[in-house]
Structure 1
Amino acid sequence: MGFMRLSSSLISNMKRYRRLNSIRHRTRNHPRDVPKGHLAVYVGEKQKRRFVIPISFLEQPLFQELLHESEDEFGFDHPMGGLTISCQLDAFFHLIAILRSL
């Protein structure tokens, strides 16, 4: 039950974030560089790299575990607008490869 609540809460928060982010981009006259159905994440332990990933990854248990660990350390805000995920880039690439093969 807690897992489902966490999942729906994350998805709801991300949808709200995307709406606010798109409004912010439109008011600043910036081009949208995050396609619909995707979100920006910043990954790395020291130097953060920006990636655009499908929102559907948020529903995957492996990705949710990574988000939960990052939430404890950083919260979900990043000064550039996006999720901050603290992990090694190699581990993130491996996770993304697994999720894309599902």
Structure 2
Amino acid sequence: MPKKNWSGLTGTGSNRKMEISCGSTTTANKGHFVVYTTDQKRFVVPLQYLDSQPFQELLKMAEDEFGLACIGPLRLPCEAQHMEYVLSLLEKSTR
């Protein structure tokens, strides 16, 4: 199986968060990653948030609920409203 080249999949810019319908083909900006909530909302999140306790908990919950899928988007077991709240807390804590 050939290796995938991910370098061409990142854009430029500094969007903190973006919500788009699940069918969008837009990729995350450099330094960001994409997650989906259970209600199919898309969020582009800074990579620095991966080390935070709230994201670690969400990732553990996702693993417990959905398993470790190697194909498809990263889904978190929460709705968009909860994700927006978590992101707002993380944004305040990184200022």
Normalising by the smaller structure, the TM-score range is: 0.5 to 0.7
* Corresponding position: 1:54 with 2:46: yes
Q: Distance in 2 between matches of 1:55 and 1:98?
A: 15
Change (3 A) 1:24 1:86: farther
1:90 aligned partner: 81
Fraction of identical pairs, as percent? 33
Q: Which runs of 5+ in 1 are unaligned?
A: 1-18, 26-30
Larger strand proportion of the pair? 1
Q: Distance in 2 between matches of 1:71 and 1:24?
A: 28
Change (3 A) 1:78 1:86: farther
Q: Name the Cα RMSD after superposition.
A: 2.8
Q: Residue type of the partner of 1:22?
A: W
Q: Distance in 2 between matches of 1:77 and 1:21?
A: 20
Change (3 A) 1:60 1:22: same
2:19 aligned partner: none
CA contact (8 A) 1:77 1:84 kept: no
Give how far 1:62 is off: 1.2
Q: Distance in 2 between matches of 1:94 and 1:78?
A: 27
| Total equivalences in the alignment | 76
Larger helix proportion of the pair? 1
1:12 aligned partner: none
- Mapping for residues 1-102 of structure 1, pairs under 5 Å: 20=4, 22=6, 33-44=27-38, 47-77=39-69, 81-102=72-93
